[in-house]
Amino acid sequence: MSPLQNSATTASPVAHGPDPNVPRWVGATFSDRRDQSSEQRFGGLSVRTMRDRDFMLVTVVVRGASSLPPVDFQQMAAAAYQAVAEQCRCRPGLSPVRFWNFIPRIRTTAPDGIDRYMVFNAGRYKAYCDWLGGADTFDRTVATATAVGYEGDDLIVHMLATDRQCLQVDNPRQIQPHRYSARFGPFPPCFARATVVRSTAKGSDQLILVGGTSSVVGEESVHVGDPANQTRVTFENLSTLVRSACTASGAIDCEGGADPATWLARFRDMRVYYVRRSDLDAIRDLVREYVPHLGNEVEYVHVELCRADLLVEIEGTALGGPVAG
């Protein structure tokens, strides 16, 4: 069973990568649905769809995206999100709750200073505006996301959607990404820090989908060059985010005050992205310190991150408790 059924998968805490795949818990959810998947190819895209009872997983691949000039890459990033939107429109009631974006050459920078991630953000921003009705809706409509770089040639976008009731959550320690200053590109990144997925069963825990979280306070990267302290700040952000999600969703068992350990204990699955192989042991030791209950459930993936001054990023799933009333 997967966190979508309030449980976690069992696996070894091995480091691997580059890996343009969804986390293991998502794969486990759809493991018995692969023979029911469908795939379409059009406009330079391949779109694969799998359905579970309450969820849909869509994977869009843009072949050879690493070699596209910026203007074409932006257009294809927008096209990838438009393809996802179309899959949701075809199934009324489904809304996106989680994205994983794997971006080739994510930090390659053009002479004008715009890097590949900024170009991707411009395409995503345009597609979201068309899909969701404009940027003034982003506070409550954009899904949680992770965006990392990898060594492949394709742009790969995975999207998880559901017909369950959902709630987007911000982190009070951080500025909402779509409100970042122009220092981070002409168009901002658009994603919620976390999303709470309501349970359909009375008395069951809500699921908190926690997006890629790093050592950012406000909009600034902190402890630049220091992987240990970046990991510590990341866990501070994670605990604050889970607490905010429980409070915002009205969970009845979210007592715990400000003690970070209380909120981190709610994690049921975690994926750690790291940049430098030489940092892995130190990062892993801190992960074991902060979330010892996860044991072998932590997945480590070697990638590039969206900012050159960030060395670690962590995402996962946590339990939010049943809804009051």
Q: Count CB atoms within 10 A of the CB of residue 306.
A: 25
Structure confidence at residue 273 (pLDDT):
97
Which of 295, 193, 292 minimizes the C-alpha distance to 240?
A: 193
- Tens-place pLDDT, residues 79-127: 999 999 999 998 888 999 999 999 999 999 988 889 999 999 999 999 9
Structural domain of residue 160, as residue ranges? 3-321
Per-residue DSSP letter, 37: -
Query: Judging by beta carbons within 10 Å of its beta carbon (0-12, 13-18, 19+), is residue 292 exposed, middle or buried?
Result: exposed
Structure confidence at residue 322 (pLDDT):
80
Determine the average pLDDT of the residues in 312-320: 96
- CATH number reported for the structural domain that contains residue 146 in this entry: 3.30.1330.40
Structure confidence at residue 200 (pLDDT):
72
- Tens-place pLDDT, residues 271-300: 999 999 999 999 999 999 999 999 988 999
Number of domains in the chain: 1
129 pLDDT band, cuts 50/70/90, is very high
Token pair listed for 162:
């559901």
